[in-house]
Chain A
């Protein structure tokens, strides 16, 4: 498997299946782990950092033996490839732009990504489409067990798994669910979701995680408490309460829009379609916002000219690194805008 091969398909998290897939785009679980015998990356020397990288790369290699996983040396990877991995949610933005020895191991189906030397020595994450947290957890848990057998993790009886930042200590788990909430945004009820989430000590972020704005009505909801609760308890809260509640709330808002403001909603959806089908140059942000209206239209049964898999393909392939990787050469922002519009127009009539 090579990185270029990845650009032919959308990857697991955009398959558009799983529970509540009309609202929930994807589920992700990550565990933060550090080696007991090494300093954290905040104080590690260049040699120590390299040593950590090699130790973990070897351990991951042994665990994923025969699974055809791809280990990417992020330090020496091209900028375009690093951004491609961010767009595919396989590494964080911080990991893409940081310095020093670091990498990621990706499973062929892109459901599993292990980041080496991100903020912590190791971050094990599993991605799934729709609401499939139990499945993601069982994969992460198993890999963690296997790696933990051969290495000694930094662990304390009271504080649990030790992390660079005390906000991740304990289980080291972060559960994140990406939800699409266009109707709540339109009816201006999104603030209430935001407030309710914060009351439950959940973080609400944009599509690319920490410090990013919500584009295309996509929000990532994640836990902040990692100490004092079982992993399964945290996961169960998301699967059984938090996400179903948010999803029901969004679906109710969609029903209400259909009932009371049908013409305005259709106008928004079909204008978005018209713009995408006719644009001659378009930014990725505008694309994401217009695709949001179309995604809502498809799920509300008000537009059937394209389907969700096709929409997800456009969603991913029109992002800057994907555009350039698929084109095979660097493109300026202006060139991308024209090429993006050309590509979308073709998809809309196809």
Chain B
């Protein structure tokens, strides 16, 4: 069944809405009309590289930091903006406050590392892997109303969580 948009009467309707308030009615809209009405949020798709590129091109307010350089490798912030690559590990320290907004944008708001740290024992990571798996199994057990299984999984999770928090 191919429907025409209720609104423009031209394009193919690809968004189908059922309103229930004030009364039940169905509407069929094309993508453009749905976006215009705010039913569909216009999507912009950016890869991390795009975000970086955009940031690098975006010069407003970066003038004063451009000449700042890393005392270890000598790379300036301007050079980083041109290349998109840092010069040495110390750059993260030297440019920390300038890099943070870029890093947060590139990592979906992430600003602090979680996960492995150098020298951490492997068992901790194994426990975390198991915990993630158990969390999924628990959800499934609850969904299927298998409460005995759920209790067993929860006990196991409790043991692992205690061990992880003791080692970290």
Which B residues are in CB contact (< 8 Å) with A153? 118
A162:B92 contact, CB within 8 angstroms: yes
- A66 within 8 Å of B (CB atoms): no
B122:A158 contact, CB within 8 angstroms: no
Residue pairs across A and B with Cβ atoms less than 8 A apart, 19 shown, are: A40-B86, A42-B87, A43-B74, A141-B122, A149-B119, A152-B118, A159-B113, A164-B86, A165-B86, A167-B106, A195-B45, A198-B46, A201-B48, A225-B107, A229-B114, A230-B114, A230-B115, A230-B132, A236-B136
A232:B83 contact, CB within 8 angstroms: no
> Binary interface profile of A, 139-153, with partner B (CB < 8 Å = 1, else 0)?
001101100110011
Nearest chain A residue, comparing its CB with the CB of B84: A165
Nearest chain B residue, comparing its CB with the CB of A166: B103
Which B residues are in CB contact (< 8 Å) with A231? 115-116, 125
Which B residues are in CB contact (< 8 Å) with A171? 113, 115-116
B45:A157 contact, CB within 8 angstroms: no
> Binary interface profile of A, 163-176, with partner B (CB < 8 Å = 1, else 0)?
01111011101000
Residues of B within 8 A of A (CB): 43, 45-49, 52, 72-75, 83-89, 92-93, 96, 99, 102-103, 106-122, 125-126, 128-129, 131-133, 136
Q: How far is the CB of B102 from chain A (nearest CB, A)?
A: 6
In this complex, how many residues of chain A approach chain B with their Cβ under 8 Å: the count is: 54
B116:A228 contact, CB within 8 angstroms: no
**A43/B113 contact (C-beta < 8 A), A165-B85, A228-B107 known:** no
Q: How far is the CB of A128 from chain B (nearest CB, A)?
A: 15
A228:B109 contact, CB within 8 angstroms: yes
**A199/B85 contact (C-beta < 8 A), A141-B125, A159-B92, A236-B133 known:** no
Q: How far is the CB of B119 from chain A (nearest CB, A)?
A: 7
Given contacts A141-B116, A148-B118, A169-B103, 19 further A-B contacts (CB under 8 A): A39-B87, A39-B88, A42-B75, A42-B85, A144-B116, A156-B89, A156-B93, A156-B113, A159-B92, A160-B117, A161-B113, A162-B89, A166-B52, A169-B107, A201-B108, A225-B106, A227-B110, A231-B116, A236-B136
Residues of A within 8 A of B (CB): 34, 36, 38-40, 42-43, 119, 134, 137-138, 141-142, 144-145, 148-149, 152-162, 164-167, 169-171, 173, 195, 198-199, 201, 203, 224-233, 235-236, 240
**A227/B136 contact (C-beta < 8 A), A42-B87, A159-B113 known:** no
A158:B113 contact, CB within 8 angstroms: yes
Which A residues are in CB contact (< 8 Å) with B131? 232
Q: What is the predominant secondary structure among interface residues of chain B facing chain A?
A: loop
Which B residues are in CB contact (< 8 Å) with A236? 129, 132-133, 136
A155:B85 contact, CB within 8 angstroms: no
Which A residues are in CB contact (< 8 Å) with B75? 42-43
Q: How far is the CB of B140 from chain A (nearest CB, A)?
A: 10
**A166/B125 contact (C-beta < 8 A), A228-B107, A229-B110 known:** no
- Docked CA distance A264–B93 (Å): 60
- Docked CA distance A102–B110 (Å): 32
A42:B86 contact, CB within 8 angstroms: yes
Nearest chain B residue, comparing its CB with the CB of A141: B125
A40:B115 contact, CB within 8 angstroms: no
Q: Which of A42, A166, A226, A228 has the most CB of B within 10 A?
A: A166
- Docked CA distance A119–B86 (Å): 11
Nearest chain A residue, comparing its CB with the CB of B72: A39
- Docked CA distance A184–B107 (Å): 29
Closest 7 CB pairs of A and B: A228-B110, A160-B113, A154-B89, A227-B110, A43-B87, A227-B107, A39-B88
**A198/B116 contact (C-beta < 8 A), A40-B87, A228-B111 known:** no
The contact of B113 among A40, A154, A228, by CB within 8 Å, is: A228
Which A residues are in CB contact (< 8 Å) with B47? 198, 203, 224
Which A residues are in CB contact (< 8 Å) with B111? 158, 227-228
Nearest chain A residue, comparing its CB with the CB of B49: A167
Q: How far is the CB of B72 from chain A (nearest CB, A)?
A: 8
Q: How far is the CB of B47 from chain A (nearest CB, A)?
A: 6
The contact of A198 among B45, B96, B102, B125, by CB within 8 Å, is: B45
Q: Which of A119, A137, A198 has the most CB of B within 10 A?
A: A198
